[in-house]
Structure 1
Amino acid sequence: MTVSIRDLRAGDPSDAESVARVRRAALPFLIITAEGVAFELSSAHPAKHHRILVAETADGRVIGTAQVGIVYDSPEPGQSYVNAYVDPAHRGLGAGALLLRTAEEHLAARDAVDVYSWVLDEPAPRAFAERRGYHPSRSAHFLRLDLAAAALPELPRDLPAGVELRPGSAFAADPRPLFEADAEATSDEPGDVQAELADYEDWLAHTWNSPSLDKELTTVALVDGVVASFAAAQTDGRTRYASAMTGTLRAFRGRGLAKLAKTASLHRARAAGYTEAFTGNDAGNGPMLAINEWFGYEICATETRYTKKLETL
């Protein structure tokens, strides 16, 4: 069967839905919608050189896709990424190899030095990556919570002195305090590639304005009126909820504020009708894994970060 590679057709909802369908089939642990796929492309910073590649058969069926681009907000130049997905029902047709080759050519032409890719920790995907010169690095876990049946911890009747919980929507007029909190928390996240959130307008464009970000379920803990911790929430608008980022500013750590914010968010998510909750954690992030296990989350899959040196064109 002949397979060809092209770019996502911007402005074509059916094409975005086809890409979302493939991603959901390959990674059913993420919040993926057609609207989110289209937004990902339209909101990408120019320096990211972001492309969404599509692998399709001769009869026009989309069977694979890849996200590829430059990590433009890394302090180390030349960092890049490619995450390729093939519909499990259509593996073995060469779509993955074609997507990866096209992605690497795109990155090499833009002076990328290191390329990073998340690979499911299963024999076939790992062997595929290693045959193409990729080497394993750190791992991360996907975790799932049956939100409909979970025995969620109760919120305390009385919050600690000076502590207040607000939804993310309360910051609609001025989200900058959330940007500053996100920037500090992100800088402390474990990972192979460090990112610096320094561009407020860019953050507004691709994070705050994301259609997947649920500002009502996103919960912020303030201490004496200052943003101290937050639990950002994503939803698919139907049944699935995901923790996009949970973080506490350094000056407020050790007070249980992340648990408090996440507890409130999960309770409100269940009340809104969401039945499944997902999150992801670096395998080495023991404190956050412990918090999620305390809520009842269970590991449902693991990814390994693979890396390769590229030769520039």
Structure 2
Amino acid sequence: MTVLVRPLHPGEPADVEGFTRVRRACLPAMLATPASVAHDAAHAHPDAHYVQLVALDDTGAVTGTAQVGIAYDSPEPGQGYANVYVHPDRRGRGAGTLLLRTAEEHLALHGAREVYAWALDAGRNLSWAAARGYRRGRSAHFLRLDLASGPLPPRPAPPPGVELRTAADFADDPRPLFDLDAETLADEPGDVGAELSDFEQWLRDTWHHPLLDRGLTTVAVVDGRPAAFTLARTDGDGRYSTGMTGTARAFRGRGLAKLAKNESLHRAREAGITVAYTGNDAGNAPMLAINKWFGYTLDATEVRHVRTLGS
């Protein structure tokens, strides 16, 4: 079987639908729709040199995907990423290897020295990454919550001085949410640090993203200032995902993030959402404990790998 790898064509329905199909089959917790795939292709920061690759079989069907780019917002230059996924029914035919090779060539062309890649925590996936020179790093867990029939914690009233709002309430000026997102992101554990400083790019990446659900994104406000939030994404097909949950440093230890997330999950169920996903670094004990309290269970684990180009 011949495998062809090329950049995704955002305007071609077969490409974006095929990309979406593969991502959903490989990792349901990472929401994807044709609209979100096309949006990501069209609005990436130019310094990211972002490209979505597709692997096609003899019939032209998409059998594998890769999301490739430079971590331009990292304080350490030369960090790239290449996340490769091949449909479970089409593995072992060379698509993943060709996707990764093409991704590495693209990243090297744009100055990457190291390439980070996620691999599902399963023997076949881990050995595949190791055979291609990738060293195992930290892990992250994807968690799943049944909203159709599973219980949720009670819905308490906010404490005095705290008001629960939605992202829709900030439609006229979302900058306070940007500031809160930037502060929480700076403290998030991970292999590659990030500094969220470009408001206009945040508007493209987050605020105007087709998966963002402003009505379910919930913000705890203290004295008029956003203090904690949970960012909700939905795909229009009954699935919900938490993009980020966090609290400004001055307000931590008061349970505000848990309060915001609980409110969001209750409203998601009322809106007909049937399943909620979230993801946490394996070392993020506080958020893992909060999600266990909500009733989330382990859905999948990925291990981040890194390779130094030219080694």
Q: Aligned to 1:181, what secondary structure does the other structure show?
A: helix
Shift of 1:151: 1.6
Conserved 8 A contact 2:6-2:53: yes
2:203 and 2:29 map into 1 onto residues whose CA distance is 25
Aligned to 1:187: 186
Aligned to 1:151: 151
2:310 and 2:132 map into 1 onto residues whose CA distance is 14
1:166 aligns with 2:190: no
Conserved 8 A contact 2:10-2:37: no
Structure 2 gaps, min length 5: none
2:219 and 2:28 map into 1 onto residues whose CA distance is 28
Shift of 1:311: 2.9
2:110 and 2:235 map into 1 onto residues whose CA distance is 34
Shift of 1:148: 1.3
Aligned residues: 311
2:135 and 2:257 map into 1 onto residues whose CA distance is 34
1:10 and 1:28 map into 2 onto residues whose CA distance is 21
Map residues 147-296 of structure 1 onto 2, 5 A cutoff. Answer: 147-157=147-157, 159-296=158-295
Cα RMSD between the aligned structures? 0.9
Aligned to 1:130: 130
2:239 and 2:98 map into 1 onto residues whose CA distance is 32
Shift of 1:54: 0.7
Letter in structure 1 aligned against 2:186: S
2:270 and 2:156 map into 1 onto residues whose CA distance is 17
Write the deviation string for residues 88-113 of structure 1: whole angstroms up to 9, x where unpaired: 10111100000000000001111101
Write the deviation string for residues 166-213 of structure 1: whole angstroms up to 9, x where unpaired: 011100110000000000000000000000000000100111110001
1:23 aligns with 2:23: yes
2:10 and 2:268 map into 1 onto residues whose CA distance is 32
1:221 and 1:160 map into 2 onto residues whose CA distance is 10
TM-score by length of 2: 0.99
TM-score by length of 1: 0.98
Conserved 8 A contact 1:79-1:113: yes
Aligned to 2:51: 51
Letter in structure 2 aligned against 1:224: D
Conserved 8 A contact 1:114-1:310: yes
Runs of 4+ aligned structure 1 residues displaced above 6 Å come to none
Map residues 2-41 of structure 1 onto 2, 5 A cutoff. Answer: 2-41=2-41
Q: Aligned to 1:76, what secondary structure does the other structure show?
A: coil
Shift of 1:42: 0.5
1:143 and 1:156 map into 2 onto residues whose CA distance is 24
Q: Aligned to 1:18, what secondary structure does the other structure show?
A: helix
Letter in structure 2 aligned against 1:137: G
Letter in structure 2 aligned against 1:47: D
Mean CA deviation greater in 197-206 or 5-14: 5-14
Write the deviation string for residues 38-79 of structure 1: whole angstroms up to 9, x where unpaired: 011101000000000010012211100100010000010000
Aligned to 1:93: 93
1:142 and 1:63 map into 2 onto residues whose CA distance is 23
1:120 aligns with 2:120: yes
1:11 and 1:109 map into 2 onto residues whose CA distance is 25
Letter in structure 1 aligned against 2:295: G
Write the deviation string for residues 268-295 of structure 1: whole angstroms up to 9, x where unpaired: 0000000101000000000000000000
Conserved 8 A contact 1:145-1:278: yes
Structure 1 gaps, min length 5: none
Write the deviation string for residues 3-44 of structure 1: whole angstroms up to 9, x where unpaired: 011110121223101100011111122211111110111010
Conserved 8 A contact 1:117-1:305: yes
2:6 and 2:69 map into 1 onto residues whose CA distance is 15
2:99 and 2:13 map into 1 onto residues whose CA distance is 21
2:237 and 2:88 map into 1 onto residues whose CA distance is 24
Letter in structure 2 aligned against 1:10: P
Q: Aligned to 1:133, what secondary structure does the other structure show?
A: coil
2:252 and 2:37 map into 1 onto residues whose CA distance is 34
Mean CA deviation greater in 292-301 or 8-17: 8-17
1:74 aligns with 2:56: no
1:161 and 1:62 map into 2 onto residues whose CA distance is 53
Shift of 1:264: 0.4
Letter in structure 1 aligned against 2:175: R
